[in-house]
Every structure is written in C-alpha cells, then in structure tokens.
Chains A and B, each alone.
Chain A
C-alpha cells in the first residue's frame, strides 16, 4: 500500500492504495466519487474523463500514485454553490444526454476543448470527441450542447472583463 495525497474538487484527499490502483478506482471505490464512470477496458469510451492539473485525462489509464500532489476535478466539482456550470446547463437545455452514463466524461472533455478553443466549430467538436463514446444521442445534441456551452462561457468571460 502506498499513501497518495491530492486535491480533489478543491479539497485535500488522501488514501492508501495498491500500486496497481487506477485513479478511477481511487475516485469511485475509496472516495465515493461515483460520478466518474467506467465504460470500457481499453481507454476508448471516455466515460472516466476527469481533469488532472487542468487537462482532460482518462482516469482509467493513469495510476492513482501518478497523481500525487495533483489537482483533480471531477464532474462532482463543476457546479458551484448549487449553480450548474454553464456547460452542464447547456447539456440540460439541449438534451445532450439520455442515459447519462457518458455524460460526466463528455462534460469534462468538452471543458478541456473550450479551454483550448473557446469557439469550436461543429467539425472541431466532432473530431475532439474521438475519445468519448455515446450510444444514446447520436452525438447531435452533444455537439449542440457544447456549442451552446462554449457560447455561454464566452459570454460570461466577456461580461466579467
């Protein structure tokens, strides 16, 4: 067992883990953060995407011990003071989810895209989602949601400036 410590959703967290423990296992099984999902075993589906030090990472493909001192954000950390993040709101307004299983990974992935490209085109969004699978929506409304979420985030930034 190895002790790991990191910041998760702004709060310090630590746990004893086996060296083979994946970040997603630490989150789900030790810390009760079950919003992050496991949909495959080959790093294809993206249901487990979280942010590690601000970038999207598949938490099934990184060991917990690699995240010592890292700053982790999961889907549980997006809403603040009971208010949904604009990207969450956009998914809700645009019916960007059905069964909800891929949704946390879609949100975390979308936020990394918008961080790098505040105004992505439909093509750019579809290509960015290479590593996120959804079986319910046909992606149509996910793409719409991300466009709307990006626009809301640009609007919020402009208002703040």
Chain B
C-alpha cells in the first residue's frame, strides 16, 4: 500500500472549512426557531449597589413585549444559583467562601454588567427599547476593583461571608524546606509583577436560545459552549432542576472560545427558564459591549517571588506569594485556576528542589475571572521565566547557561516535582537548541548593532516553559477539589456499508477536530478520510462529554476514540474469524483488512460491518449484531507540553513603539497528527501572548467602572501588530496515552509573554532598566526610558 496522505502526520486540509468559506456555518445566532422571541438583559451600570426597587410595569406594557422578569420571579420558581465546579480549602483547612450567584441579581448588584432583569419581546429592538422603561432604584455602595485595594483594612465588603474579601488563602509546597533553602542561599533573585487582566474576546459573541416543547416537556438550549454536556449537567441539576433526559444542549458551530465559553453563564439559564414561562423560543445574543462586561475575564494576579541560588547558579528554592482576583462571583472553574493550574507549574523545567506558594483569592466588584487560554500556566510561566532572567543578571550569568544548568535532565523522567506533578517525558535541551538555531541567537549582537545604527533599540528574549494539559485524571482532580470527573467519551459507529461516524464529547470551536479526529480514524480503521464524519456539540447525539479546554481534546478525547476503535477491531476480529472459519487468535487487523495470519484469506472492514448489520451468517449466539462501540477514557496523568520561545523586538526610543521583528517557537507537543493545524494553534496562541505582553489590558477605574468596555478601548492585536511566527516542533512522546500526544492549544499563549518582555528588558538594558510590566505599551516603554535616563546620565 502507498503511504497514506490522510492519516497521522499528514497536513490534511480541513473538512470543516468548506461550510465556513461559503457562509454555510451554523453559529447560534444563525439559528432561527419558529416563533422565536428575543431577550434583552438589563445590566447594572453600578459596580456595587443595593437593588432597592425594580418596577417593570411600564416596560411590560410596551409594544411587542411579552414578559419582563427579575430575580424575584426566578426565585419564585426555586431557580438555583450558578454553581462553582471546584472547591478549594484554605491553609487552615476551612472551605472557600462560596457566595450565591443567582442568574438575575437579588437584592444587590456587584459589578458593572451584573444581570438585573430580562425583557422578552417580539423583536430585539422592542426588547431593548422597553428595557429603558424599567425603573430600577439603585442605592450605590462603595466599590473596589483592584486586588490590592480589596484586601486593605476598611475596604468595601462584597460578601458578608467573606471577611477581607478573601475567598480562600491557600498554599502548596513545603514551607520549611523552602525557608531552609533560602537560609543557605548564595544569592536571592526577587521580582514583583502584575499579570495583567485580559478580556478573551472570541470573535463570536456569546448567544443562547431556549426552546420548550409543552407537549413533551422537553427543553432545548442552543448555546455558544465549549462543553454542552457540562452545561446540561450544571444547569439541569443545580439551576433549573430539569433532568438530563428532558434537556438537550446543543452547541453547533462556535466562533472561538479560549476558555470564555466553558462556563455556565446566567443567560443560558435565563433563556431556558423563560422559554418555559412564555412557551415560545427565546433568543439572546450578546452585543460586544456585553461580552466585555459579562464574559469571564482572565489572569489578574499580583505576585512577589524569590528564587534562592547557590554560588554556581543552581536553583535551591522558590517562594511565591500571589493575590488573585476572582471578580464578584465564583465562575464555574475560577477557583482552580490560580491554585492547581498555577502553583503546580512553578517547578517549570527546572530541578528546583523546594517550592512554596501561597495564593490569596480575592473578591472584587468586577466581572468574574476564570480560565483564559493557558489558565494559570501563563501566570506561572511568566513569573518563573522573568525571575530566571533576574537570577541570571544577579549571578552575572548568561541567560541560556543558567537555564541549561537547571534543566531537568533528559534521563530524569519520570520526574517528580516538589509541587505535586510528575512529568512523564521531555527534552528541554533539544527544544532550546533548536530554537537558538532557528532564531540565530548567535547572530543577534550583529543585528543589535545594525539596529543601533538606525536609532533602534533591539533586544532578544527567551522563555523555556512547561505546562500541564490533558485535564485530567478524575481521581486526582477529585482529591484536589474538582466536583466533576474529567474523562472523555467517544462513540465510533461503523455503518453497514463501512463508513464511520465518530461522536465525541469534546467540542471544536476552531481547533479542527472534524479533521484531526477523522485522520485518527482513517489511520486506525484503514479507510479513506472521506468516509469518516465527526459529530460534536449535541447532547442528543453524543453519549456524554466533558468538553474542550486545557488542550485536552486530543490527549483525552482522541484517546477515547482510539479506545472505541480498539473495541470495534476486537469485535471485528470475532466476526472475521467466523466468516473466515478461523480461530479469533489468528486474525490480524491491518490497513482496513482482517486477515488470517500467514494466509491471503481476508475480509475488508466493509464485509465485517455488513455482516454485523445483516447477520445472516453470524455467530448470533456469542455475539450481538451491530458494530458501534463507545469508550470512556480517563487519563492516567496530565500531559506536559514544553518548549522554547524566542522573541526579538525593536524599540523606537523616541516614541516607545515596539515591533516584534522575529518570533520563534519550538514546542514539544508530543506526536503531531496534523502539522498544519498544530502550527495554526501555536501561531494563534503566540498572537494572544504578544497581545498580553504589548497591547491588552482590562482597566477598571477606582470606582469600579470598566474603562476598556469596547474594541475602541481594549487593544485587540491586529494583523500589523504581530509578526510572521516561525513554528517548529520537537517530539518526545507522552508515555501514558495511546497516541503519545500532549496538546498544542495553549503553548503559544503560555510561552510567549515572558519571551517578549525579556526581549524588551534586554533592549532597554542600555538604560539600566530591569523591569517593566505588561502590557508594555509605547507609553509605558517611553515613560520607562524617560524615568531611567537620569540614572543613566548619573552613571
């Protein structure tokens, strides 16, 4: 057989592209249900206020209005609050403070954008117009938006149950051992930094349609979700009390997520519940302004970290103290992001023997904060890779040399870190070497000199990162506080004529699963890729699923598909043995054929599937008809993609304008199924990382008003802001999943921000600048240069 061009390792063009390129995608807002009504959600303009009175009577009488509902109406129906999916315990063993989160506010609003009421009308314009007639008496309360302000004595209190606005005060690692390491340190490198708050801004705004069939009592929710089964579970069990058997959640084409579409949002519950009340479909689509003030935000840490070093530059201990902003309410996975997805990564790719991290999570009058591409791991990587550069400077060592000296050696795997994780495989020298070569690190001094002659400051920066993906072994996650399992589900249905439909519990919102998964099946069952269809997103079709986030779709979802295929092949062998009158043990399966070993007697997959569905000549007494297998795969460990990112920047010292002139990413994402898709994932992630490093920042003013509330105010990376991004991979296989894959969705956003900032600090070295916070905007860089100049002049 000639080598396949549609199996594992091939850059197959994407199956899903045709519909997107011709305008035939179906996103939630494209869905029009017969008789559908439109919802407009009235949101709080105040960051913190008592809801003294809500008078909806005028709005209810407006033209086209069908109903107006408030939190009181939902409470009358015993609608529950939006649940948090991960319980964290404080240092003293006490549970985190878990305030209620009603879909429509009751008694008090706690951030600008908090839901106050919903108007349901014949048209969206009528609903929006009528919302202006709702008379809300707000009694404003003092508010606090910044983490550092929120923990000050006398700060406004957001929840009575959470003194000092503290949700939890958590720790990880061996404090005594870490303190002892600092005792014997030759030098200590120290850094204080802010991980800037980001607004995800997937290009498709969130949308939801609730539909209710009075004849059957069935509810359907169309929603922009990364994990429809999780939404069905959370909304059905905790909020609306609808059994799974009566609730279908369907996330069709979804226009990007980056984490922001994982969570169960109030609007999903509101339209589903309202559809039941008014007995007609109810549609809500966010305006972009609503995305800014209601999609969960990301990052927002303030951190102090110290690294103890011996006289040779070996890392002895790491001590980290972080304040993490959770916003006004607990979003679905908010609580695990600054803890188990953050502090567990603080070993990085280094052999640091003692690590201690404490995290205080704080409520503020801001939009809830949750996972955004990378989720915890970018925060860990940013602090560690900035700190390693500081350490190199303190020790007067080369930045590359100090990294190499501390890398976990290639022969040390499996490697147990002091912060709970066990890395299964990696080769950090290899990705570093490859990136140094690809970026021509050695030739940099010449380029710097050439730039200097043009009046530009040129700098180069490196980051050698690791992250944890493939979330997650359910028992470990459960022991750490997860309130759900984190396996994945797949059904592989071989049809009578040998074509295959794969049902996956993961969800594609840009990742290309319809192609990558089809490649797995084409290779695994030896059939052309055209004969494989992948179905995702619909709880009515798919047995179960935990969804797509944390770069888990291939490592966990793909492994589930492999397991289901294994079952298909096992059953196929039994059928083939019967048809070929051979012993089952003698049947081999290869390239789509079941063959009696050592003979030319064989049956194709289609012969087997046909026999399974037309079982005339079939071992019916021992074997059920049909060829349709389901598997649930629970991973044995996380996966650990790692790599090296190198950024090269040029700064105009007169304006502070910065250009990323070169970017090199060399990532170890395990086995690569579709190189084209992997490169695209890395490039997209790097652009988001460059966005965080140079452009993006969510800004609240002191009073809690959101200042960056539109795309006019919040700087989204544009095509001219990012360079061409050179991507390469170096593979070490994951040792514990059947594909050897690690995940590639987040590496770009994790590895790149410190590379860019380290490059900027390198460029500003002539001014004696050692520190700058993200985003390093032209203004900030210009100010930094101006502030530094007197110091330089004095030297």
Do A and B assemble together?
yes
Q: In the complex, identify which listed stretch (B200-208, B237-245, B563-571) lies at the interface while the others stay far away.
A: B200-208
Q: Chain A's nearest CB lies how many Å from the CB of B777?
A: 18
Q: Pick the contact of B24 from A35, A84, A123, A139 — CB < 8 Å?
A: A35
Q: What separation, in Å, do the CA atoms of A30 and B644 have in the docked complex?
A: 51
Interface size on A, residues (CB 8 A): 57
**CB neighbours of A40 from chain B (8 A):** 288, 710-711
Task: Tell me if B683 is interfacial: C-beta within 8 Å of chain A.
Answer: yes
A139, B722: Cβ atoms under 8 Å?
yes
**B17 contacts A34, C-beta separation under 8 Å:** no
Q: How far is the CA of A88 from the CA of B13 in the complex (A)?
A: 13
A20 to B123, CA, bound (A): 13
A83 to B614, CA, bound (A): 39
Known: A39-B203, A41-B710, A100-B255. A91 touches B21 (CB 8 A): yes
Does residue B700 face the partner (Cβ distance < 8 Å to A)?
A: no
Residues of B within 8 A of A26 (CB): none
Q: Would you give the shortest CB distance from B190 to chain A, in whole angstroms?
A: 34
Contact with A133, one of B16, B25, B711, B725 (Cβ below 8 angstroms): B711
Question: Contacting chain A: which of B59-67, B506-514, B634-642, B649-657?
Answer: B506-514
Among candidates B14, B720, B722, residue contacting A130 with C-beta atoms closer than 8 Å: B720
Bound complex: CA A59 to CA B433 (Å): 49
Closest Cβ–Cβ distance, residue A138 to chain B (whole Å): 3
Within 8 A of A (CB), among B488-515: 509-512
User: Which of A63-71, A74-82, A151-159 sits within the interface?
Assistant: A74-82
Tell me, yes or no, whether B677 is within 8 Å of chain A by CB: yes
> Is the C-beta of A14 less than 8 angstroms from some C-beta in chain B?
no
Q: Which residue of B lies closest to A18 (CB)?
A: B125
Query: Which chain A residue has the least Cβ–Cβ distance from B725?
Result: A140
A134 on the B face (CB < 8 A): yes
Known: A38-B29, A42-B710. A107 touches B21 (CB 8 A): yes
Chain B contacts for A62, CB-based, 8 A: none
B629 to chain A, nearest CB (A): 30
B125: chain A residues at CB < 8 Å are 18, 20
Contacting residues, chain B, for A127 (C-beta < 8 A): 719-720
Closest residue of chain A to B676 (Cβ to Cβ) is: A95
CA distance A140 to B722 in the complex (A): 8
**Contact status B680-A125, CB under 8 Å:** no
Q: Does B22 contact A (CB under 8 A)?
A: yes
- Considering the complex, which residues of chain B in the window 663-695 have a beta carbon less than 8 Å from any beta carbon of chain A? 676-677, 679-680, 683-688
A28-56 interface code vs B (CB 8 A; 1 in, 0 out): 11001111111111101101000000000
Q: In the bound complex, how far is the Cα of B679 from the Cα of A91, in angstroms?
A: 15
- Of B254, B677, B687, most A-chain CB atoms within 10 Å: B687
Instruction: Decide yes or no whether B258 CB sits under 8 A from chain A.
Output: yes
- Pick the contact of A136 from B17, B18, B256, B716 — CB < 8 Å? B256
Instruction: Determine whether the beta carbon of A99 is less than 8 Å from that of B204.
Output: yes
Are A75 and B204 in contact, with the CB atoms below 8 A? Answer: no
B27 at the interface (CB under 8 A from A): yes
- Choose from B24, B510, B683, B688 the contact partner of A140 (Cβ within 8 Å): B683
Task: Considering the complex, give the chain B residue whose CB is closest to the CB of A104.
Answer: B23
Residue among A36, A37, A74, A75 with max Cβ neighbours from chain B (10 Å): A37
The answer, among B288, B676, B688, for a CB contact under 8 Å with A39, is B288
B722 to chain A: which residues have CB within 8 Å?
138-140
- Bound complex: CA of A90 vs CA of B254, how far in Å? 23
Instruction: Check if B21 sits within 8 Å of A122, measured CB to CB.
Output: no
Whether a CB of chain B sits under 8 angstroms from the CB of A135 is: yes
Contacting residue for B687 out of A32, A37, A38, A138, CB 8 A? A138
| A135 and B712 contacting across the interface, CB-CB below 8 Å | no
Please name the residue on chain B nearest to A92 by beta carbon.
B17
Which residue of B21, B25, B30, B680 has the most chain A CB atoms within 10 A of its CB atom?
B21
Q: Known: A39-B288, A42-B288. Contact between A97 and B21, CB under 8 A? A: yes
Interface status of B55 (Cβ within 8 A of chain A):
no
**Do B256 and A37 touch (CB < 8 A)?**
no
Q: Which residues does chain A contribute within 8 Å of B717, judged by CB atoms?
A: 138
Cβ-defined contact, A138 with B201, below 8 A? no
B22 x A100 contact (CB < 8 A) = no
Whether B13 and A100, one on each chain, are in contact in the complex, defined by CB atoms closer than 8 angstroms, is no
CB pair A37–B711 under 8 Å, yes or no, is no
Instruction: With a 10 A CB-CB cut-off, give which of A28, A130, A141 has the most chain B CB atoms.
Output: A141
Q: Which residues of A contact B684 (CB under 8 A)?
A: 98, 135-138
The digit string for B1-42, where 1 denotes a CB below 8 A from any CB of A, is 000000000000110111111111111011010000000000
From A45, A84, A129, A140, B22 is in contact (CB under 8 Å) with A84
Distance, CA A100 to CA B508, complexed state (A) = 11
Asked if A37 contacts B27 (CB within 8 A), the reply is yes
What is the bound-complex CA distance between A32 and B19, given in angstroms? 15
Q: Is B510 a contact of A99 with CB atoms below 8 Å?
A: yes
Q: Knowing A129-B720, A142-B719 touch, does A136 contact B510 (C-beta < 8 A)? A: yes
Q: Using Cβ atoms and an 8 Å threshold, which residues of chain A touch B29?
A: 28, 34, 38
By the criterion CB–CB under 8 Å, are B720 and A137 in contact?
Answer: no
> Known interface pairs A103-B21, A138-B725. Does A143 touch B719 (Cβ–Cβ under 8 Å)?
yes
Say yes or no for A102: interface residue by CB 8 A criterion: yes
CA distance A29 to B122 in the complex (A): 13
B255 contacts A34, CB within 8 Å? Answer: no
Instruction: Please give, as numbers and ranges, the residues of chain B lying within 8 Å of A133 by CB-CB distance.
Output: 203, 711, 716, 718
User: Nearest chain B CB to A34's CB is how many angstroms away?
Assistant: 4
Within 8 A of B (CB), among A99-114: 99-104, 107
- Can you list 21 A-B contacts with CB-CB less than 8 angstroms, sorted by A residue number? A34-B30, A39-B205, A40-B711, A74-B23, A75-B22, A79-B22, A84-B22, A93-B13, A95-B676, A97-B17, A98-B512, A99-B254, A107-B21, A122-B724, A129-B720, A130-B719, A135-B258, A136-B256, A140-B680, A141-B680, A143-B724
- Please give the residue numbers on chain B whose beta carbons come within 8 Å of chain A beta carbons, in ascending order: 13-14, 16-27, 29-30, 32, 125, 201-205, 253-256, 258, 287-289, 509-512, 676-677, 679-680, 683-688, 710-712, 716-720, 722, 724-725, 748
Interface residues of A (CB under 8 A from B): 18, 20, 28-29, 32-42, 44-45, 47, 74-76, 78-79, 84, 88, 91-93, 95, 97-104, 107, 122-123, 125-127, 129-130, 132-143
Known: A39-B203, A44-B712, A136-B684. 8 other contacts (CB 8 A): A28-B29, A92-B13, A99-B203, A137-B680, A137-B684, A138-B685, A138-B686, A140-B687
